[in-house]
Chains A and B, each alone.
Chain A
């Protein structure tokens, strides 16, 4: 192990994440894969990252990563953000793997808000950082009752909550972390990814692991697994899309676009996925 403490500024003599911690996360991750969508408890460790910035995702990444990996880390859709760059360097310093920004070449991708636009393959693993893993928290605060509801597949109150939202607002307003059923059995929150990215989890080629550090939970969506947003039959699931919007850099209209301030006061849009946008510009 190299001088991780220099990079992290903390961590103790065994570095930021010792072998025993890795083993525990590995066992939890295997159980999570075997019970798709179930939130497997694990003994989360204190990590040298800011609260809310991915200690759960970081622990999963550190349990997975090896010297042969090419690691991509994105914050929103950006590789270049300060948080993403710091986290990437932290892991690279820990294990000696390669830094990567090109989605196509990455073997391991850690993200919080987005799933890359470029479809992921079977040889790539996505780690999502989860601030709030429990989808039932919106309708039930008692943790034991949440566990009972998951155990008995009793999601009636979640449906009631969605219905009330619909009646009140005319649409289901939930955007990030839209509740989904995994393999027809477990309700999950797919973390703050937009609705736009939810279909990328359904029958995917890649494995997705979700890590929640504060709540000490790991859950998984294996490849080739059904992921279905909770929707009423007569109200179709719709992803975010603004008619007429196009990326001002690459012209994309089908990517996930975010609004940016522009000098003349008009609304401008850019791709949230900067790697995709860069390559899309080269194609044009």
Chain B
């Protein structure tokens, strides 16, 4: 029992950003959400980078769901403890942190708000394996393991089109996201966060086209 408590406290510490770090990371989030397709990086912490991003924004007023894979449940507990954000099922949460790849159906089920209340749209923070800038559509690198997609992004914040390559989420997820955001101003605002802290913003105002990837 004692061991569990001590370990739990270590996880909580690992996902709790200092005020200064929360501020600096927020500026990074603001920068990339304002400029879809540009990449920047949040500070690498001791826990999953996606979780630290969420911990900087959550508090008792933000019902939050953490989607975890097997053996990752302690990170969900740590986030709720660190921020006082109440646990909520993904379909009613204001913020959803996907430490494992979400299923397309899970994306489809998220709250989008409506034209009277766009602010009720879910903030989704999704962990990915890697993110990189892409100059133009290129064929898939056959040596890559796991799903990889190239997204062509346009809309507010983008002069013309920007492309990013995303490893770790398959195209069905982005198809679901594009469909969920088809009814602007309702929609889902997404941050993709790579393990190394690289982050990209996909606000609901962004038009997402998938240029390659596995079905």
Q: Is the CB of A30 within 8 A of B205?
A: no
Q: Does B115 contact A (CB under 8 A)?
A: yes
- Determine the residue in chain A with the shortest Cβ distance to B95: A27
- Kindly identify which residue among A27, A40, A147, A225 contacts B116, using a CB–CB cutoff of 8 Å: A147
| A222 contacts B34, C-beta separation under 8 Å | yes
Q: Map CB proximity to B onto A223-239 as digits: 1 under 8 Å, 0 otherwise.
A: 11100000000000000
* A-B residue pair count with CB separations less than 8 angstroms: 102
B42-85 vs A, Cβ < 8 Å mask (1 yes, 0 no): 00000000000000111111100000000000000000000000
Contact: B20 with A35, CB < 8 Å?
Answer: no
Chain B, Cβ-Cβ closest to A34: B203
Output the least CB separation between B66 and chain A (Å): 17
Number of B residues with CB within 8 Å of any CB on chain A: 38
* B30 interface contact, C-beta 8 A: yes
Q: Is B193 interfacial (CB-CB < 8 Å)?
A: no
Give the chain B neighbours of A222 by CB distance below 8 A: 34-35, 156-157
Q: Which of B19, B27, B156 contacts A19 (CB 8 A)?
A: B19
Task: For residue A2, give the distance in angstroms from its CB to the closest CB of chain B.
Answer: 13
The complex places the Cα of A183 from the Cα of B206 at a distance, in Å, of: 12
Given A147-B116, A223-B35, A223-B157, do A30 and B185 touch, yes or no (CB 8 Å)?
no
Cβ A31 vs Cβ B59 within 8 A: no
Most chain B C-beta atoms within 10 Å of own C-beta, residue among A33, A64, A151: A33
B149: Cβ under 8 A from any A Cβ: no
* A203 to B157 Cα, complex, angstroms: 9
Residues of the A chain whose Cβ atoms lie less than 8 Å from the Cβ of B62 = 27
Task: Tell me which residues across on chain B come within 8 A of A24, comparing CB atoms.
Answer: 59, 61
- Is the beta-carbon distance between B24 and A66 smaller than 8 angstroms? yes
Which B residues lie at the A interface, using CB under 8 A?
19-20, 22-24, 26-27, 29-30, 33-35, 56-62, 114-116, 118-119, 121, 123, 155-159, 184-185, 187, 189, 203-205
- Could you show 18 A-B contacts with beta carbons less than 8 Å apart? A23-B22, A23-B58, A24-B59, A24-B61, A27-B62, A29-B30, A33-B157, A34-B121, A34-B189, A35-B205, A40-B118, A41-B119, A64-B26, A66-B20, A66-B24, A147-B116, A183-B205, A223-B35
Additional A-B contacts beyond A23-B58, A34-B204 (14; CB < 8 A): A22-B23, A26-B26, A26-B57, A28-B119, A31-B118, A34-B189, A35-B184, A35-B185, A64-B23, A66-B23, A66-B24, A66-B27, A224-B159, A225-B156
User: Which residues of A are in contact with B by a Cβ distance under 8 Å?
Assistant: 19-20, 22-24, 26-31, 33-36, 38, 40-41, 63-68, 122, 125, 147-148, 151-152, 183, 185-186, 203, 207, 220, 222-225
Closest 3 CB pairs of A and B: A34-B203, A151-B115, A225-B156
